[in-house]
Structure 1
Amino acid sequence: MITYSELRRELVGMFADAGIASAAVDSDLLITELAGISRPELFLCAGEPVPAELERHIRELARRRANREPLQYLLGVAYFMDLELEVTPAVLIPRPETELLAEYAVKHLPEGGSMLDLGTGSGAIALAVAAERPDVRITAVDVSSDALEVARRNRVRCGGEVRFLQSDLFSELPGERFDLVGANLPYVTQEEYPALEPEVRLFEPQLALTAPDGGFRLIERAARELADHLNPGGRAIFELSPPQAPRLAELFVKLGGFDEIDVLADYTRRDRFVSVRIAIQQ
C-alpha cells in the first residue's frame, strides 16, 4: 500500500507536469479534505498507508485536477472571508480580492441600512456582509436561475437573512432604493477570454465572466441606472478590471449627481474598484 508521503509526492509531480503553479498546495488540500485531516496531521502520518478506498477517490479527483478542473469544483466548496460556500460550475469561484468589496460594505453601511448585491453568483458577498452586519437588510440578484439555486443553498448552509431574486440588474426592483449597492459584474473582454487560465476558460460560467464593449456594457448599464436605486447619501462600489477603472470614474463625473468618486486598489495594488456616493441635495 502507498503511504501518504508517497501519494503526496506523486500528486505534486502530476500537477506540476500539468502546469499547475500551486501543485504542492493543491496536493495537500486534495488529500487533507478527502481524508478529513489537517495539513499538520498529513505530515505526522506521512509514513502511514492510505486506505484503498480513499486512495482511489484521491486519484480520481487528481486526474481531473491534472486536466485543470478547479479544485474548488472538485471538492464542492470555496472559502470567502469566514464562510465555507458551496460552489458548482453554475457560479464563479469567489476571488480573494472580492473580499475587499464585502469589507467596504461592512464598513460603510449605516446602522439598520439596506444593501443590494448585483450579480450575486454563489451569494458570497451578500452572505459575508450578512454574517458581519446582521442589522442590515440585504437583497441579492442574479440573472442566472442556476446561480441563485446555489446561493439559496448557501443561505441555508451559512445562515443570514438575505433576499435572493432573479433579476437582470435592477429590472425586478422598480422603485426600490438602497443605502449601498455592491456590483461584481462580468468585465472580461471577448479578446481576453481565450487567454484565460484553463481553470477559468474551460470550467467557470462564461456568462459570469465576459461582457461586450470591452467588458464594460453591464457595468455601464448599472452605473447609468444607479441613481434611481440609491437613498440620499447612498454609496456604491464596483469591482472591475484595472483598465476600466478610469473609464467608470469618468462616467460618474459625466452623469453628475455623484461625489466621493474614488478608485481603490486590491491586494496587489492594482486599481480594482470604483466607489461613489450619491450627492445629498442641499
Structure 2
Amino acid sequence: MSVSLSVVERLRASGSVFAEDEAALIAESARDEAELAAMVDQRVAGLPLEYVVGWASFRGLRIAVDPGVFIPRRRTEFLVAEALRVTVAVSVVVDLGCGSGALGAAVAAEREVSLYAADIELAAVRCARRNLVPWRGTVYQGDLFAALPERLRGQVDVLLANVPYVPTNEIRLLPPEARLYEPHVTLDGGPDGLATLRRVAAGAMDWLAPGGHFFVEMSEHQAPLARAVMVEHGLAAEIVVDDDLGATVVHGTYTRR
C-alpha cells in the first residue's frame, strides 16, 4: 500500500524521528486504507510502533508482539549473541520471563536445541507460543522456575532471563512509550532494580546442568552488583559489554556440583 506525504508529515509532527520508515512499515502491515488510517492514528497517539504493526524486528526475525507484552529491544540482541557462543546442538535452553519469546526464538533459529519458555503473564504466554511454533518450543505460564516441569531440574544448559531491572522510582523517567504502554511488571526491578534477578539467581543452581550458563541483561552501573549476586549463589560470573549497542550482560556459569 502506498504512503501519502500527509501520513509521513503526521508521524513527523507527532515526534517520530524516522517518520518515513515508520510510515512504510505501517503501510506494509495495513490490509486496507481504513486500517492504515486507524494504525496511523494509533501511532500518532503514542502507541509503540511494534504494537501498531504487531511485530518487532529481533536478530533478523519478525517477532509477534501483542499489546501488553514487553517489546524486545535491539540491545538485547547482544545477550543472544553471548548465549550462542556457548550453545551447541541438543542444548536444553530455557527463556525465563520470556515475554514474546524473542530470546528463545533467536537462539533456536541458529541452533537445534530443546527450547522451553515461561512467563507469569497470560498475554505473554499466548504471544510466545505463536513465536516459538517454528522451533517446537514449549511455553509454560507461571512465576519463574515454578512454571517449569520438574524433569528440567538440573538439566538446563542455557538459561536466558531478561528480567526487569529498572529501579521502581526510576520508572517515571522512562520514555512514555515504555512507561505508559508496557506492563510495569516487565520493567519494575524493585528498589535497586535487582529484585527479580536475586530470585532467579537463588534458584539457578538447582536448575542448571553442571557447566550450565545463565545470562541476564543489566545496566552498566548495576552489573557489578548483579555479578556479586550470582557469585553469592555459587556461580562464577563475568560482565561483558557491547559499546556499539550500549548493552551490558552478566554471564554466570555453574562450575561445580
Aligned to 2:76: 98
Deviations 1:78-122 (A, max 9, x none): 222232222111311111122222222222023322111111111
CA displacement, residues 211-237 of structure 1 (integer Å, 9 cap, x when unaligned): 212221001111122111111111111
**SS of structure 2 residue aligned to 1:151:** helix
Q: Which of 17, 22, 27 is equivalent to 1:26? A: 22
Say whether the 8 Å CA contact 1:245–1:271 is kept in structure 2. Answer: no
Provide the C-alpha distance between the structure 2 equivalents of 1:23 and 1:264, rounded to a whole number of angstroms. 34
CA deviation map 1:25-84 (0-9, x unaligned): 21232234337xxxxxxxxxxxxxxxxx52x43222212111111111111122222322
Name the SS for the 1:181 alignment partner.
strand
Q: Residue type of the partner of 2:137?
A: V
**Are the aligned partners of 2:217 and 2:247 in contact in 1 as well (CA < 8 Å)?**
no
Q: Map 1:118-129; keep pairs closer than 5 Å.
A: 118-129=96-107
Paired positions, count: 254
Q: 1:119, 1:185 within 8 Å by CA — same for their partners in 2?
A: yes
Secondary structure of 1:79's aligned partner: strand
Q: How does 1:248-267 map to 2 (within 5 A)?
A: 248-255=226-233, 257-259=234-236, 261-266=237-242
- Segments of 5+ residues of structure 2 without an aligned counterpart are none
Question: What does residue 39 of structure 1 align with?
Answer: none
Tell me the secondary structure at the aligned position of residue 36 of structure 2: helix
Show the counterpart of 1:246.
Answer: 224
Contact 2:120 2:143 in 1 (8 A): yes
CA shift in 2, pair 1:253/1:29, >3 Å: same
Residue 159 of structure 2 is aligned to residue 163 of structure 1: no
Contact 2:66–2:123 under 8 Å retained in 1:
no
Query: Distance between the aligned counterparts of 1:152 and 1:188, measured in 2?
Result: 26
CA offset at residue 180 of structure 1?
A: 1.3
C-alpha distance in 1, partners of 2:35/2:243? 35
Aligned amino acid, residue 18 of structure 2: S
SS where residue 72 of structure 2 aligns?
A: coil
Alpha-carbon offset, residue 263 of structure 1: 1.0
Equivalent residue runs for 1:1-282 within 5 Å: 4=2, 7=4, 9-34=5-30, 54=33, 56-134=34-112, 136-156=113-133, 159-173=134-148, 174=150, 176-177=153-154, 178-255=156-233, 257-259=234-236, 261-266=237-242, 268=244, 270=246, 272-280=248-256
Structure 1 residue matching 2:227: 3-state secondary structure: helix
Residue 203 and residue 232 in structure 1: after superposition, are their counterparts in 2 closer, same or farther (change >3 A)? same
Q: Which amino acid aligns with 1:196?
A: L
Cα distance in 2 between the residues matched to 1:152 and 1:66: 30
Query: What do the CA deviations read for 1:223-273 (whole angstroms, capped 9, x no partner)?
Result: 122111111111111112222111111223333x332x2212235364521
- Secondary structure in structure 2 of the residue aligned to 1:242: coil
Give 3-state SS (helix, strand or coil) of 2:128's partner. Answer: helix
Structure 1 distance, partners of 2:255, 2:10, is: 56
- Percent identity over the alignment is 32
Please say which of residues 167-176 and 62-71 is displaced more in the overlay. 167-176
Change (3 A) 1:267 1:73: farther
| Unpaired runs of at least 5, structure 1 | 36-52
In structure 2, C-alpha distance between the alignment counterparts of 1:267 and 1:162, rounded to whole Å: 32
Q: What is the TM-score with the length of structure 1 in the denominator?
A: 0.82
Q: For 2:71, what is the secondary structure of its paired residue?
A: coil
Change over 3 Å in CA distance of 1:111–1:85 after alignment to 2: closer
1:213 alignment partner, SS class: coil
The TM-score with structure 2 as length reference comes to 0.89
CA RMSD, aligned part only?
2.2
Determine the C-alpha separation between the residues in 2 that align with 1:267 and 1:95.
15
Please tell me the residue identity of whatever aligns with 2:26: L
Residues 95 and 159, structure 2, Cα contact 8 Å, conserved in 1: yes
Mapped partners of 1:218, 1:94: distance in 2: 18
